[in-house]
Amino acid sequence: MAGAQHCPGQDPRFWKAEDVSEEPCIHCGKVVEFFKDDLRRKCPYCRQMTYNPHHDLACAAWCPSAEQCLAQYGRSLPGDEGPVQ
């Protein structure tokens, strides 16, 4: 096999600066680096799970588990902010 094919978009070596964001840990407030596809990661400082507020939650539009998933992150479904009259 002459080298496995990898999608460049999935290889951090091809990522640009804007694909990485630095967000404060929700627990200790220290800055944690998130890659664009990291929804959550373990804070290297306090070793608790912290969440990426910029993660694209577009999957919530179609995923059957979206409601539970978003609740886990303290988010509500788009268009589910209140009762529709």
Is 43 a binding residue for Zn ion by CB under 5 A? The answer is: yes
Environment class of 32 (CB within 10 Å of its CB; exposed 0-12, middle 13-18, buried 19+)? buried
Interface residue with Zn ion, options 41, 46, 66, 75 (CB under 5 A): 46
Q: What is the full DSSP assignment across 4-60?
A: ----GGG-GGG--GGGEEEEE-TTT--EEEEETT-SEEE-TTT-SEEE-TT---GGG
Stretch that binds Zn ion, among 15-23, 28-36, 52-60, 63-71 (CB under 5 A): 28-36
Name the segment binding Zn ion (CB under 5 A); options: 10-18, 26-34, 56-64, 65-73.
Answer: 26-34
Binding range to Zn ion, per CB under 5 A, among 7-15, 20-28, 56-64, 72-80 = 20-28
- Please name every residue paired with 24 in a beta bridge, in sequence order, or none if there are none: 31
Task: Give the interface size with Zn ion as a residue count (CB under 5 A).
Answer: 6
Q: Which residues of the chain form contacts with Zn ion (CB under 5 A)?
A: 25, 27-28, 43, 45-46
